[in-house]
Amino acid sequence: EAQVTQNPRYLITVTGKKLTVTCSQNMNHEYMSWYRQDPGLGLRQIYYSMNVEVTDKGDVPEGYKVSRKEKRNFPLILESPSPNQTSLYFCASSIRTSGGTYTGELFFGEGSRLTVL
């Protein structure tokens, strides 16, 4: 089954304790992205990756890191979490068209709800 898998789904942690949210897709997609969803703010992009070893900042990258060492994996790293990073996080992937552009059809994981105390 084609899917994007995130782990953990739920996490409560404390300020300053490094954590990693993993994301893996089995669709051989080049494009992967992280979003956070907050009430009243909708979805905001954190980081994205067009392909292996290529990552770029989205709209709200502060306090986050990512890496793309393999095509299928795109982990989100919070080196020193703070309470304002309490949010619902989504990983998504997309395929490139034969013309080289991205279709815009994003496949989302089920989300990771993070609480930072």
Give the long-range contacts of residues 41-48, CB within 8 A, separation 24 or more: 43/90, 46/76, 46/89, 47/76
For the CB of residue 89, give the shortest distance to other proteins in the complex, in Å.
10
Measured from the CB atom, is 14 or 41 closer to other proteins?
Answer: 41
Residue pair 35/43 in contact (Cβ under 8 Å)? The answer is: yes
For the CB of residue 51, give the shortest distance to other proteins in the complex, in Å.
13
Measured from the CB atom, is 40 or 69 closer to other proteins?
Answer: 40
For the CB of residue 48, give the shortest distance to other proteins in the complex, in Å.
8
| Residues at the site binding other proteins, with contacts judged by CB under 8 A | 4, 31, 40-43, 45, 90, 92, 101-111
Can you tell me which residue has the tokens 């969803």? Answer: 37
For residue 74, what are its two tokens?
């795109």
Measured from the CB atom, is 82 or 98 closer to other proteins?
Answer: 98
